[in-house]
Chain A
Amino acid sequence: MKKRTAFSGILRCLKPYAMWIALSLAAALVAAAGQLLAPFYAGRAVDCILEGAVRWEELAGDLLAIGLSSAGAAAAMWLLGVSNHHIVYGVLCDVRWMAFSKISRLPLRYLDARPYGDVANVIVADAEQFSDGLLLAFNQFFTGIFTIAGVLGVMLVMRWQVALAVFFITPLSILAARFISSRTHTSFRRQAETRAEEAAFVDEMLGDLKVVKAFCREEKNEEIFGEKNEALRRASLRAVFFSSTTNPTTRFINSLVYAAVAVLGGLSVIATAGTVAPFTAGNLMTFLSYANQYTKPFNEISEVLAEFQNALVCAGRIFSLVGEEEEPSDEGLPALGRARGEVTAEDVAFSYTPERELIKGFDLRVKPGMRVAIVGPTGCGKTTLVNLLMRFYDVDAGVLAVDGKDIRTVTRASLRENYGMVLQETWLKEGTVRENLVMGRPDCTEEEMVAAAKAAHAHSFIRLLPQGYDTVIGDEGVLSAGQKQLLCIARVMVCRPPMLILDEATSNIDTRTERLVQEAFAELMEGRTSFVVAHRLSTIENADLILVMKAGKVVEQGTHEELLAREGFYASLYRAGFSG
């Protein structure tokens, strides 16, 4: 079943290249024909050679024919190669794009649950293997089919007795290839699985190599890696060996064909000697040469079948990623427009896993321009609120609304456009500082960008970078965590959206800079609805509304005074905070 979906997926991908495929088929046909004609004329030429008496004129004609037909075949072969590369690399490019563009339409729930390396591997390694298989198929499969058909056809016309014998030995070859390829399919799958396991481990360890080193974990890691690597070695050995038995097996069957042609052809020469249309020694040579050429496509086709198994497994993984359920489309939904910043939640329920309910019966009223502080002990689930507000995750029940509009009734992009988000975990994309800063508003002017960078106190260190705003940075690069966070802040300052989400936005910045950044934030927050996950008491005290969270739930909400008066969880946190 999965194999079939992979197959139909491949066909869909090939469709845009119909013209090129036609060209490739035509070239394959010409190449095969040319390669059959050359030995045919060679046979005739040899017949012109008789000891002591050579038919020179005839010989010259035949030799010319050999030259022409092989030249034609060579030209067609070249065309075949070029068009096949065009088709296969085109499909590869398309498939990669399909898989990649899928990432942005998949729910975060899907992405959060999978190792990054796994998904990235589908786009890179699986796609590569798939295209390798496809290229092999295009290069060898059709030429192979044409050659086989051509050989049988010519043989039938010239000497059907020999052709029949060849024809009946052939199925053996197909049977053998089939037998082998069904065995290899399982071992290839096993190989792909163990390989994915090893890749996930390597991805994780190399991704945080510095921590590995800090804990002198190298030896232990090598031990674990060694086990996984050994498992992969065993699985690969099976897969590689089984797939490589195809060639010798078909070659053996071909030697049977060759022997049959030799004996039957020889008998034919003896039987037809002296008749009007004798089967000559030259004919026998042509036949033997065909028998050789005839074996080659069988080898190749069975090789293609074996490799294609592997390609199908990889294609299956690609198409299953592409076929994953996407986030519900918001096409046709209206845009939110620039929000006033009223945020309400009514009886909202949410959980990451159905077994563990998290948020239930959550109500919230935030008027435009209000400052909402989210507080609670570490690990209380403050980021869950961010996930819901930004619609990274959808609520399970109830309604979350902005300006009175259920956020599920407007486009995600227009909702997110209204929020400026700075997270504790900084993430920058590979690109220049400038590209990172104008991410949210590519049309902003140079002055606006620099002003935002200045407001975020990032301008001074950006200026010191080797190429200033054009320095290429990345997620792993040379910037300190604090500098990265300043860039993330500047990135939001460029946009100046009506609502802000600051999830410990200044946790990596030193306090002096932080105070200055806070001033800029205060100015930015003026008249904007803001959600601030914070520890800073002054930030919390000044908030218009405080949401107190504990173990994933919102346990209290109100103003500082109200909550203190309640003598509940907040009050205890507050006192603990002072002692800190």
Chain B
Amino acid sequence: MKYLFSCLKKYRVEAVLAPLFKLLEAVMELLVPLVVRAIVNVGLPAGDKGYLVHACLLLVLFGATGLAFSLTAQFFAAKAAVGTSAELRSRLFSKLQSLSFTQIDDMGTSSMLTRMTSDTQQVQTGVNMTLRLLLRSPIVVFGAAIMAFVVDPMTALVFVGVIPLLAAVVFAVMYFTVPRYRAVQEKLDGVYLSARENLTGARVLRAFRMEEKEETRFSEKTERLRKAQESVGKISAVSGPLTLLLVNVAVIILIQAGAIRAEAGILGQGEVIALYNYLALILVELVKFANLIVTVTKSVSCMKRIGNVLALEGETENDDMGAENFDKDAPAVRFSDVSFTYEGGSAPALSGITFSAGRGETVGILGGTGSGKSTLVRLLPRFYAATEGKVEIFGRDVESIPLRELRGMVGYVPQKVALFTGTIASNLRWGREDATDEELLAAAETAQAEDVLEAKGGLGGEVAQAGRNLSGGQRQRLTIARALVKKPEILVLDDASSALDYATDARLREALSRLGCTVFYVSQRVASLRHADKIIVLDEGSIAGMGSHEELMAHCPLYVEIVRSQTEGL
């Protein structure tokens, strides 16, 4: 909730003015029964028609003033609510972007998306309703009670009895529904996941003729959601009727008490009518309020979920950074006894890794699936931080380099290609925003992506979401070009040429070797690595051999086995 208030802060003027104008509007409404009392007590017995007309004009005046107040309130409320949700979305987006890789793995895309879209929407509605109506209702309820005391303190005691009861009903309903709404929301997440999955996996699902089964699975999920929704509905449906009943019981007591006091000559008919009107006012207000509670409780649970995300601590930076300088004579990369265990992992993914790579050297990393190849290179841009040991770049511990600077130095081409809606140029400029067209073209040339540009109509060529209008190889080369635009000191190709044929792959390596940066190749193909200055052979997270192709052929049995497996093939 504290996050909500801090977002609302920016709109505190609106957030104060909205209920304030609502209050003024409510005052206008509360004056009405007094006019009615005057009509009944003064106008009617006297048969004074002019008095009635005056009273009526007064009522119209109250109405018009109320309208003006209320429109102003609505505007401020809308502005505060919409502004708050925009602020919330923007903070949420920054927060999500700041999450560490471990947190990203943990959270998953679909729940991030629901947080960003439907949750913030619900909070917006909640804030709007709260400012507009939720505050109005207590004002009217207590205002009516106070006015009742003005009319006749004794009879008004009924109000003192009924208001706490009504409040109890409202809060009891809230108490039982809030946790249930959370369950509903979780089930909704599941529905979203299912829908998204069937879009991303359309090909595979069709290939395996899973369509019907997926439909059944989905309908089970929505059915469970429906059950949860209905069960919350049953509870929340109680509040309206219960309120109605309580207020009418109060009416009965009020009239009975009024009758006793009237017989004693203390009260007139006008007073009883005025008191009745105040009770009616409370009823109308509470029925509205009960409907609102549903909306607001929903919003509260959405806000809690958003709050959980905002409370996460993203990637951390040390405060005292930048003191150290890079030592240009130090090795470009040095690992000293590095170990790493994934969050929740039972065994370390890497253990005791020690090696160094000089400036401009090419390092090949070879190993079986799950041997820790990718994990090793992911420690360089500090996607994950080493659990033990030290990773240094040009003599500086990566933990002490600001992430922005570090990731600017390390060009990383991931295994999974990811391009974004836009043009080829806009995708390449991810590397460096101010890169010139020439620089982009040069990077594309190095990455062997010239033909992609040719096929798509140059730098302005359109790229669809996830680069779906490109083939796997085309995408891969564009992602390499993107990393090159950065002009990185260290380039990491995390199995990034797997979709390239041998000829293209060879040309790519040739072109990269001319750049003069330190290049890490993670690959399964010996052919892609054999010319590397240093090849690191990993086996189950440890180094099984290190050296040039020739050295490894002579000393590393695992390497020899891998080489043999690839030259024989099928």
Contact = CB atoms under 8 A, between A and B. Distances in A.
Contacts of B259: 48-49, 54, 56, 59
Give the contact-size bracket for chain B.
35 or more
Interface in B108-123: 108-109, 112-114, 116-118, 121
Interface stretch (A99-107, A361-369, A395-403): A99-107
Interface in B466-518: 466, 468, 470-474, 476-477, 482, 486, 495, 498-506
B498 A504 contact: yes
Given A38-B248, A46-B276, A52-B265, A111 B113 contact: no
B170 interface: no
Interface string B547-570: 000000000000001100110111
A559 interface: no
Contact of B499 (A50, A119, A378, A514): A378
B562 A252 contact: no
B423 interface: no
B112 A208 contact: no
Interface string A32-74: 0001001100100110111111101001000100110011011
A241 B78 CA distance: 6
B568 A509 contact: no
Contacts of A476: 105, 108-109
Interface in A108-129: 108, 111-113, 115-117, 119-121, 123-125, 128
State the main secondary structure of chain B at its contact with A: helix
Contact of A71 (B83, B113, B245): B245
B570 A542 contact: yes
B109 A579 contact: no
Contact of B203 (A105, A392, A509): A392
Given A85-B237, A577-B502, A245 B71 contact: yes
Given A120-B199, A504-B472, A93 B66 contact: no
Contact of A508 (B247, B465, B498): B498
Contacts of B96: 206, 209
Contacts of B280: 39, 289, 292
Nearest to B212: A104
Interface stretch (A149-157, A417-425, A444-452): A417-425
Given A38-B248, A51-B269, A93 B222 contact: yes
A82 B196 contact: no
A217 B47 CA distance: 79
B59 interface: yes
Interface stretch (A5-13, A257-265, A336-344, A560-568): A257-265
A512 B524 CA distance: 8
B72 to A, nearest CB: 9
A48 B113 CA distance: 63
Contact of B74 (A90, A244, A539, A577): A244
Contact of B191 (A124, A200, A259, A482): A124
Interface stretch (B328-336, B355-363, B407-415): B407-415
A388 interface: no
A284 interface: yes
A423 B202 CA distance: 13
B284 interface: yes
A519 to B, nearest CB: 8
A81 interface: yes
A577 B471 contact: no
A164 interface: no
A354 interface: no
B420 interface: yes
Given A125-B118, A210-B101, A81 B569 contact: no
B149 interface: no
A218 B94 contact: yes
Interface in A203-252: 203-218, 220-222, 225-226, 229-230, 232-233, 236-237, 240-241, 244-245, 247-249, 251-252
A259 B60 contact: yes
A216 B403 contact: yes
B203 A63 contact: no
A383 interface: yes
Nearest to B217: A431
Contacts of B78: 237, 240-241, 244
Contacts of A199: 113, 116-117
6 contacts: A49-B262, A93-B223, A123-B195, A207-B109, A209-B96, A233-B83
The 5 A-B residue pairs with the shortest CB-CB distance, nearest first, are A378-B473, A255-B63, A81-B237, A85-B233, A576-B503
